[in-house]
Structure formats: structure tokens, C-alpha cells
Amino acid sequence: MDSNSNSYSQLQNENSSLPDFIRNSSSQRSTSSIQSFHSKASGGHSVKEDARLVYINDPEKTNEKFEFAKNSIRTGKYSILTFLPRNLFEQFHRVAYIYFLVIAILNQLPQLAVFGRGASIMPLAFVLLVTAVKDGYEDYRRHRSDNIENNRLAWVLVNDQFQQKKWKDMRVGEIVKISANETLPCDMVLLSTSDTTGVAYIQTTNLDGESNLKTRYAKQETQMKNPEKEKISGLIKCEKPNRNIYGFQANMEIDGKRVSLGPSNIILRGCELKNTSWALGIVVYAGGETKAMLNNSGAPSKRSRLETHMNREIIYLSIFLVVLCTIVSVCHGAWLRRHKDDLVLMQFYRKKDYSEPKVDDYNYYGWGMEIFFVFLMSVIVFQIMIPISLYISMELVRVGQAYFMIRDDRMYDKASNSRFQCRALNINEDLGQIKYVFSDKTGTLTENKMEFQCASIGGVDYSGGKAISEDEQTGYSLRVEGQVFRPKMKVKVDPELLSLSKQKHTDEGRHVHDFFIALAACNTIVPLTVETSDPALKLIDYQGESPDEQALVYAAAAYGFMLIERTSGHIVIDIQGERQRYNVLGLHEFDSDRKRMSVILGCPDNTFKVFVKGADTTMFNVIDRSLNSNTVKATEDHLHLYSSKGLRTLVVGMRDLSASEFEQWQSSYERASTALMGRAALLRKVAYNVETSLSILGASAIEDKLQQGVPEAIESLRNAGIKVWVLTGDKQETAISIGYSSKLLTSKMTQIVVNNNSKESCKKSLDDALVMCKKLTTDSDATRRGSGARKTEIALIIDGTSLVHILDTELEEQLFNLSSKCTVVLCCRVAPLQKAGIVALMKNRANEMTLAIGDGANDVSMIQMADVGIGISGQEGRQAVMASDFAMAQFRFLVPLLFVHGHWNYQRMSYMILYNVYRNAVFVLVLFWYALFTSFTLTTAITDWSSVLYSVIYTALPTIVVGVLDKDLSRTTLLRYPQLYGTGQRQESYNGKLFWVTIMDTLWQSIAAFFVPLLAYWGSDVDRSSLGDLWTIAVVILVNIHLAMDVVRWYWITHAAIWGSIVATFICVMVIDVLPFLPGYWAFFHIAGTKLFWACLFGITIAALVPRFVVKIFIQYFRPDDIQIARELEKVENSRESRDAEIEMNPIFDPPRR
């Protein structure tokens, strides 16, 4: 938490200064700020101090000090030698295991040996063994995959020749040659590529999951060199290895020149080289120091809330255990005191009267020590009061639950062919207690598949595209030399606009022409030609980092402006069948300050034009309103209309540059782009200068399609009392419109908007909002009393700038108060770490369970912060999934996940914990009562082996089976009444009260189980072993019937487990009793032959369970909870249906009656 708030404040400082590395994306997502944060925090100016020195093509010198890792990787935890100690060490991190180890050791002391040696060690050994085998197997698989990785081959320059070398033998400083479609073996700085301009395209799917191509550049200084012919030497100073995959800071000294290197010059392990026939790189980070490996840490381990609460109850149990042991030892002390004089004579402690020659104390250690020993012995005897088996059962149950979650057909997404994934295995039950859902928007609520919807060009709205169904669309295609080129994606076109785009000479036509040229040119999209099965047909696939740009280029192509080729110097656009070559003279990339990008084109007619596209807020500042005020106004209206439909809008403008303007720009652009210091700021300045007094071309509207079922899912979540917060990098209007379309916001809601630029104004608006909230709630209280109207719902909309002033200050409290009164909270324009800050705010203050769901790298911090983190395994990469606890393909799967599986998991696990506590306590109490009748010496009537097997064999399986399979309500009921989810939120199935009720019940049951046989056999000639067998079987039957009473759904497996356990117990007791070297030989067969035995068993079972049964039915009848009513509803409806069916069937088939 601390580290997080620190880094968060760093981010705030960061906001003012702009990052050096800016992603060239026009999308509205705020990914750039996480990068900026990272690059600053990790790299910064620290390159000089403790830099890593890499001598190019001189691995010997580079590795002189052996300080750099080799390229072999090791994800396996253990080696054969270290496996045993290390695995045991890790296992004993659990307190419970240490407890049992201590007890097992105590039991080895001869004075304390209560159980036989084997019997005392067996359960712990068993558990350790099972876990060790599991860990060992997992590690074996890791080793195997490591081996495969390490033995892959790459071409490495050795003695001025490229030779094949295994990955594991590669070293820092070596020059590596990569061919197209090969995977990179380590992190390398690009030296040269097959492209003359030094461009290489890489795909980072394995790293961050983004499937589009990214461009990386080799420096001109190295691009020209061929290491096979001339020796390259130089020195790269780069930052220490770090896990920031978007940042890299280094400089290279080559040929006496100093060149700075940035993130666009490095290619990372795990990426693939695409569209570039070869590339040369110098290894800078290898093996475990590569960014991919550093990012390879698993999800942080979280602990479920139920388990945290359980630990509190475990403490109660320990206190209870200490109390029991104290009672026994104190009583024993009193007994010894009372028989002080008899001890001399008593055979148990022969003290002084025997063996005349010497006084022989037979194991009598004095009063105090005897009491102490009895105390320790009673801890050993009563050890299972702390249910060790519970921890193992819980793990097994979670595995079972995960199995069913993963296999759930309803959480399988056909489109992406992905199942639900359980990445964390210890928080299943948290899914049933979620109170807050924090959701990312893009890619989570929406598909992040941008579709061009409509455009406003020259003040005219063209949005008729929807009218035409897709079948009629042949789409634009292009014929060149008998080959057909077609864009890979079809776009709906507006027929009017399509005809306009073909006219060249009207005013409107020129407008349209310029507009589409802008769309096709003003971007960083790379067109790729993809072969299809039909040799005459080729598809053009547009690859780029921004889905918005892709959508725009596809749209332009559909209207006949097809981008065909892009090199670093020019682009070729096919305009209505005519190939036009434009020189790209300069490109000002998108940055979050300008919120626009521009491109300067040298047109075929030798004019120079600047095309700009960007967000409306900043674009209207640079558009010259005097030029065409009507168009501007109309466009503004259209923009408003579009964004109210939830569309993402971009404004496009252009300007003709006169020759002098162009030259002025060109010289300053060149100066800026070759500057070594402050290049970004200089470039930005140049951009500001050229992006002025634009004439408006129009605006585009892209639909960010909602994922399937999102509105319904959000509605269900809200009905279940879950508060849904949307945290997005989008601007306020877009966020609100998505809010409406996803039914997050409704027209009935009162919206409170907080967007301020200073702390004072934030405070003021928060205060105002709170007052308003109070007023609204009291108002609605009054009206509700009068008319029964629904409560006014309040939606809070807050933006990132305000959050900067609120989070980590005293205003947090106010925000918390306000937001807890609101049904919906929308946070727009938030940075990734702010997302985490918001989650942390609610998690820590509200003490409620939070769930964060997101798909992108910018959601990682939020996912890790929340109690439950869910990654959407969809479009945007695997980073979110890697950091998540659960991963799924669609937002709407949240509904079955929470309402069905979460509910079941919570119910099952809560019951299981209570039951396990009861199960062990009832056994311990039976042992305890008997200790009171053995002069407090802890003789057990129940054999050692039965004590040990009790929680392992006699009663283990049924609770696991019930924990995995039992369902309190059916899936349909749970989905029909989302309110049933409230059980988990209110912690109705596991709480302190239930725990104590269970303990009281346990007390009674143990009394019944112990005293019925005691009194029935009092003064008879029954022996210890026989009575012990009776108690063993009585307790086992009792706890199993108890479980059976609470099972809701009986499958054949449940039957098999419960009745099977009872049978297994009988068998085990028999087996123990046929071993002639044990004192209890044949005892079971003797006592089971008497009728008294069976009468006792039967009587115990009924007498013990009557109170529980009575309480249960009285609660069910008089104070039924929702689950009970819903269960009855299920039953009633089922029987009604079958009755109806029967009535219908009767006249025709007359089915046989049973």
C-alpha cells in the first residue's frame, strides 16, 4: 500500500512534465501516462551513475566482471538437490504446519508419548508428501519448458561470421541476426535492418498481447554497417535491467559520436520480427534480466476474506484448546495433591517404598512438572481442535470449484475460443461477497473494435450507413494487373457520401476528397498485403497501434481512398483507382497534451499540406473559425449529436502551406528532430506552430461497440446491490454516453459532476455535492413515506484532474462519503495508478470486497489492488490477465461468475469451515470428557489410529464432496433473483454468531455422544477398547448425519461419500481390532454383538441432532431467509410444472402412477 501511494504521488508530479516517449496513438486511452511514469521512475537521468556498459561485438570485455546474466532462463524453483529442503521450508511457512510439527516432535519425547510414533507423524507427513509431489510435478514441467527455450538456436556473430548458437549460450554484447518471423532470444538494441531506412516491425503478442505491429528503428549511424565485413565496435551505456517494457534509456558511442537511444530502438525478448527480412541487434539484456522475464512474476498472492475471518475463529479455538488443557492439568494437579500420600503406594508413581537399596522414582517428576507434562500431553491429544485438515480440504475444495468454473460452458467464449481461467486458487469464495465492481471501459465494457459509423464533412452529416444491410455491400476493391486488392474489413458506407466521393470537381467533392485523404494519410498505419486461398484476391490488412486509426483507414478505403504503401518517406494512396504518391515530410505524433496529430504531405501537385486530426476540445482551438463559421458550428452540433450516441469523435482539419511557411517549418523540424536534448519539447513546439488556423474538414465518429450483454449484466449487478464504478481514460462526454448505452446511467438518476482544476474548487464541489446528496436522500425519504416512490439514485461523475487533487489528501474522506451515497460512479480521464488509488480508497475505507475488471496494461495496478482482480482475455493483451486472479473473455461472464459460482463457492466454503470446526471439536470434546474419568491422565478410549484417521479417512471425503458439489440454489434461481447475492455481501453464511452457535451445538452433541454410552455402561464390565470403538463410531456417524442433514442437493456422489465414509469407518475400526498386538483386539466384534451397542448408537444420533434440527426448522419456518424462500420457490415451481405436465399428458398417454 505504501509503495503504491508513493508511486502514485510520483505520478502526480509527472503530470506537468511531458514524457519523452510518446506513443503515436490518437486513441483517447491514457496508456501513455503509465509509460511516462515508468520511464521517468526507472530510467530518468540515472544512466550516467550506475549504467550497464555493453561493448558492441565484444562479449569478452562486456562480461569481464561476470556481472551480467547469461541468456539461459530458469523459471523452475528447485533443483534435485535443493528440492527437499527448499520445498519443506516453503511449506512450513504455514503456521498450521509448524503447529503440527511441534506437536509431532513433542509426541516423540518419551514422557509425553501419547500416540504411537507412526500415528503421530503420519498426518503431517501425508500432507507434506502430497504437497511436495504436487510442487515437484509443477516444477518438473517448468524445467522442461525452460530446457526447450534454452536450447533454441539463433544466429550469433562469432569471429566475423554468423554461427548458430543455443539461446542459453548467448551473452551480452554479442551481435545477433534475426530473420523474419523469428522470436527474439533476448533484449537487443537494433543495429540495422533489411529496410534501408532502418525500420523493423515487431509483434509484441507474447509480451503484452497487443497483436498489431510496432515499428522500431535502427540508428542511421549503425544502419549502414555490415558487421561481417567491417568490424563494429562501440559502447552502449544503458540503464540497469528493469521491468518496464515501454521504457528504455541509453546512449551509444560509435565512431566517436554519441547517439541517444530510446524505447523505439530496442527490441525485446519474446517479440517476433515481422515484415522485415532480417535485423541485427546487440544483446543488452539477457536471460533473467530481460524485460519479459522480469515481468514474468505471477499474480500476487491474496488471501480470501473468509480465510481471514476464519483465522480469527482459529484463535478462539486455540484459546478453547488452552482452556481444555488447563482444565485437565489443573484437575490433574488437584488429584495428585489429594492423593499425595497415596502416591507412595500407588503403582502409578512408585516413589520410595520399593527396592530397599535405593529410592526409585518411577517417572515421577514432582508436582509441578507432572502438571506441565499433562498440559503438553493434553495439547497433543486435543491437537485436532485446530483443524489442520481444514486447510487441506479447503485447497482441495477450491481446486474442485475451479474445475467447475473453468469447465462452465456458460463462461466459454466462442469468438476468442477461451475458457474461464482461474489463476489464483485461494480466493474463490471472495467472488460471493463482492460489493464494488471497478470496471475499465475500453475493451472491458466495449469490444475495443472500432467501427467507423458516420462523418460530418463540411458541415453535412452523413450517417446513412446503417441503412444498408451488410449483404449488399460488396465493399471497395481494386484491380491491378488482374489482381484484386480488397481491404480486410468491410465498413458500412453511406451511399450519398460514396457518390460524393467520386465527384472530383464539385466543392463538396473536394471537401470529401480532402477529408478522406486526411483519414488515409494522417496516421501511422502500415498496410500489409495478405494472401488468400484465391490467388487473384489479396487482402489489405492495416496494422497499427491505434484501433481508431485502423477504423478510419478502413473507412477511407471503403470510400475509395485506399492506403497501399507506407515507407518512412512516402505513402501511396489509391484514389478511386488512381495511384497517388504523397511524400510524408513530417509527422507530429499524438501526445496527451496536444491531443492531436498532424502530418505534412508533399502532394503530387507539388503543394504542401498539413493534415491534423484530434480531439474536439483541442482542435477547435486551432481551427480558424472565421474561415467557415457555419461549417464549424454545424460540425460542433454534429459532434454533440455523435457523442451523445456514445460515439468517439475526432475532428479533422487541414491547411495549405505556402512555400515559405513550408521551408520555415522544415528547417525548424529538422533542427528539432536531430536535437539531442529536449527533442520532444522542441518537436512539440514545432507542431504548435504549424497546427494553427486550420480550416475544418469535418469530423469522424467511431463506434466503440459495447460487448455483448453488457447492459443486462450491469443491470443484474446493480440489482444484486453491487455498486459498479467505471474508470476510464475517456473524456467525460464519451464516458457518460457509454454510461447511458450500457444502462449504467439512467435518465432517472441525478448526476453530480466534479471536474475542477484546483484543490479548493474540488473541495467546494464535493461539499456542494454532499449537501445535495443529503437533500435528495431526505427528500426521497419523505416521498417514500408518502407515496412509496423509489429512492432517487445519484450518479457521480468525476474526472482525473479532480482526482489528482482529491486522492491522498484529506478530501479523500469527503469523496468516500459522497461516493458511498451514489449508486453509480464514473471516473473519466483517469491514469492507471489513479485507478488503483480509487480502488484502494474504497477497499480500505469501506471494508467491503472490491473487484476490479480490466483488459489492458493500464488496468494492471487496479487489478492487483482490488480484492479480486479479473482480466479480460481479449483484444488488448495479456498483461491484465497475467496480473489477474481470474481471467475471462467477456464482461457479461461476471454475472454467472459472481451470482452462480461466487455464491456457491461462498456458501460451500462458509459451511465447510463451520462444519470442519464442529467436526473436529466434537471429537476433541469426546476425548476431553473421557479425560475427566481417567483421573485426568489423558488415557484415550479411542485408539491412536482412530484419532489420527478421524480427520483423514473417517470424515474427510464428505465435506470435500459437499464443498465442491452442493448447491443451495439452482443456477436459474440465482440468475433470476440477483438479490440473492446479498447473502454473501452481508456475510450471512459465516460470521461470529454462527460460529458460536456452532460451538454450542458442538458442545451438546459431544455431551450426547459421550454421556449416553458412559451412563448406559456405567458399572458394567465393559472394557476400554470396546467403549472406545463405540465412541469412535458414534461420533463418525453423528458428524456424517449432521452433514447429511445440511446437504441441499443429493447427488449419487454425495450419497457415496457420506454413507461410504461411515462404512469405511466400520471397516477401519474392524481392521484395527483384528491386529492382535493392539490391546483392543477383537473388541469391536464383541461389542457390536450386543444390542446395547446399537441402541446406544441410534439413541446418540437422534438425541444429539434433535436440538439442531428443531432450531433449524424453527428458523426456516418463522424467520426464513431469502435462500430458504427461493429454495421453496424452486420446489413449488418444479412440482407445479410436473403437475401441469401430468395433467396435460394424462388424457393422451395415461402414464403409470407411482
Please identify every residue annotated as catalytic: 440
Give 531's strand partners. 538
Is 168 among the residues that bind another protein (CB under 8 A)?
no
Is 1048 among the residues that bind another protein (CB under 8 A)?
yes
Cβ proximity to another protein: between 409 and 605 the closer is 409
Binding positions for another protein, 739-778, rule CB under 8 A:
none
Cβ proximity to another protein: between 139 and 1130 the closer is 1130
Is 535 among the residues that bind another protein (CB under 8 A)?
no
Please state, in angstroms and rounded to a whole number, the distance separating the CA atoms of residues 258 and 773.
Answer: 61
CB of 486 to another protein, least distance (A): 11
Residues with Cβ < 8 Å from 1133, sequence gap 6 or more? Answer: none
For residue 1140, say whether it is annotated as part of any ligand binding site. Answer: no
Is 425 among the residues that bind another protein (CB under 8 A)?
no
Binding positions for another protein, 861-890, rule CB under 8 A:
875
Binding part of the chain for another protein, among 80-88, 913-921, 1021-1029, 1061-1069 by CB under 8 A, reads 1021-1029
Binding positions for another protein, 933-952, rule CB under 8 A:
933-935, 937-939, 941
Is 144 among the residues that bind another protein (CB under 8 A)?
no
Is 349 among the residues that bind another protein (CB under 8 A)?
yes
Sheet with 153-158, side-by-side order of all strands = 161-166, 153-158, 175-179, 278-285, 187-193, 266-267
Binding part of the chain for another protein, among 323-331, 515-523, 527-535, 803-811 by CB under 8 A, reads 527-535
Binding part of the chain for another protein, among 14-22, 78-86, 417-425, 769-777 by CB under 8 A, reads 417-425
Binding part of the chain for another protein, among 93-101, 853-861, 908-916, 1084-1092 by CB under 8 A, reads 1084-1092
Cβ proximity to another protein: between 793 and 808 the closer is 793
For residue 538, say whether it is annotated as part of any ligand binding site. Answer: no
Is 1131 among the residues that bind another protein (CB under 8 A)?
yes
Is 367 among the residues that bind another protein (CB under 8 A)?
no
Which residue of 271, 293, 1022, 1062 would you call a contact of another protein, by CB under 8 A? 1022
H or E, element range at 253:
strand 250-254
Give Dmax over CA atoms of the chain in angstroms.
133
DSSP string, 973-1022: HHHH-GGGGHHHHTT-SS-HHHHHHHHHHHHHHHHHHHHHHHHHTTTS--
280: nearest Cα among 195, 214, 191, 198: 191
The 387-406 contact track toward another protein, x by CB under 8 A, reads: ----------------xx-x
Binding positions for another protein, 189-248, rule CB under 8 A:
203, 205, 211-212
In terms of DSSP H, where are the helices of 788-856? 800-806, 811-821, 832-846
Binding positions for another protein, 564-623, rule CB under 8 A:
none
Is 472 among the residues that bind another protein (CB under 8 A)?
no
DSSP strand pairing (187-193 vs 278-285): antiparallel
Cell matching residue 572: 501511396
Give 216's strand partners. 200
Q: Is 79 exposed, middle or buried (0-12, 13-18, 19+ CB in 10 A)?
A: exposed
Cβ proximity to another protein: between 764 and 1049 the closer is 1049
CB of 61 to another protein, least distance (A): 38
Tell me the angle at which helices 992-1016 and 1024-1046 cross, rounded to the nearest 10 degrees.
140
73: nearest Cα among 138, 169, 141: 169
Q: Is 407 exposed, middle or buried (0-12, 13-18, 19+ CB in 10 A)?
A: exposed
Binding positions for another protein, 807-866, rule CB under 8 A:
none
DSSP string, 275-319: S-SEEEEEEEE-GGGSHHHHT---PPP---HHHHHHHHHHHHHHH
Is 1086 among the residues that bind another protein (CB under 8 A)?
yes
Is 1053 among the residues that bind another protein (CB under 8 A)?
yes
DSSP string, 1075-1123: -TTSTTTTHHHHHTTSHHHHHHHHHHHHHHHHHHHHHHHHHHHHS--HH
Is 1046 among the residues that bind another protein (CB under 8 A)?
no
Binding positions for another protein, 715-744, rule CB under 8 A:
721
For residue 479, say whether it is annotated as part of any ligand binding site. Answer: no
Is 550 among the residues that bind another protein (CB under 8 A)?
yes
For residue 954, the 8-state DSSP code is: I
Please state, in angstroms and rounded to a whole number, the distance separating the CA atoms of residues 415 and 490.
Answer: 18
For residue 730, say whether it is annotated as part of any ligand binding site. Answer: yes
Contact 957, 1061 (CB under 8 A): yes
Is 423 among the residues that bind another protein (CB under 8 A)?
no
Is 474 among the residues that bind another protein (CB under 8 A)?
no
For residue 441, say whether it is annotated as part of any ligand binding site. Answer: yes
Is 1103 among the residues that bind another protein (CB under 8 A)?
yes
Which residue of 102, 125, 480, 530 would you call a contact of another protein, by CB under 8 A? 530
Which residue of 138, 228, 353, 1142 would you call a contact of another protein, by CB under 8 A? 353
Binding part of the chain for another protein, among 55-63, 687-695, 824-832, 929-937 by CB under 8 A, reads 929-937
Is 891 among the residues that bind another protein (CB under 8 A)?
no
Binding part of the chain for another protein, among 72-80, 270-278, 281-289, 557-565 by CB under 8 A, reads 270-278
DSSP string, 741-754: HTTSS-TTSEEEEE
Cβ proximity to another protein: between 858 and 1101 the closer is 1101
For residue 998, say whether it is annotated as part of any ligand binding site. Answer: no
Residue with cell 528493469: 242
CB of 1112 to another protein, least distance (A): 8
Number of residues counted as binding another protein (CB under 8 A): 125
Which residue of 840, 1012, 1034, 1036 would you call a contact of another protein, by CB under 8 A? 1012
Cβ proximity to another protein: between 633 and 774 the closer is 774
Phi/psi for 969 (5° steps) reads -140, 160
Is 787 among the residues that bind another protein (CB under 8 A)?
no
The distance of Cα 216 from the centroid of its chain, to the nearest Å, equals 30
CA atoms within 13 A on the CB side of 823: 23
- Could you tell me the CA-to-CA distances from 862 to 4, 27, 859, 985 in Å, in that order? 11, 21, 5, 21
Binding part of the chain for another protein, among 121-129, 538-546, 566-574, 1032-1040 by CB under 8 A, reads 538-546
For residue 633, say whether it is annotated as part of any ligand binding site. Answer: no
H or E, element range at 824:
strand 824-828
Please state, in angstroms and rounded to a whole number, the distance separating the CA atoms of residues 869 and 430.
Answer: 11
For residue 959, say whether it is annotated as part of any ligand binding site. Answer: no
Give 698's strand partners. 457, 652
Contact 424, 302 (CB under 8 A): yes
For residue 171, say whether it is annotated as part of any ligand binding site. Answer: no
Cβ proximity to another protein: between 798 and 957 the closer is 957
Which residue of 64, 496, 670, 1128 would you call a contact of another protein, by CB under 8 A? 1128
270: nearest Cα among 293, 300, 303, 241: 293
Which residue of 515, 669, 915, 977 would you call a contact of another protein, by CB under 8 A? 977
Cβ proximity to another protein: between 236 and 1069 the closer is 1069
CB of 425 to another protein, least distance (A): 18
Residue with cell 469501506: 846
Is 471 among the residues that bind another protein (CB under 8 A)?
no
Please state, in angstroms and rounded to a whole number, the distance separating the CA atoms of residues 1 and 845.
Answer: 13
Quote the radius of gyration of the chain (alpha carbons, Å).
Answer: 37
Is 1092 among the residues that bind another protein (CB under 8 A)?
yes
| Residues tagged in the binding site annotation for Mg(2+) | 440, 442, 855, 859
| Residues tagged in the binding site annotation for ATP | 440-442, 549, 590, 613, 648, 728-730, 829, 835, 858-859
| Residues tagged in the binding site annotation | 440-442, 549, 590, 613, 648, 728-730, 829, 835, 855, 858-859
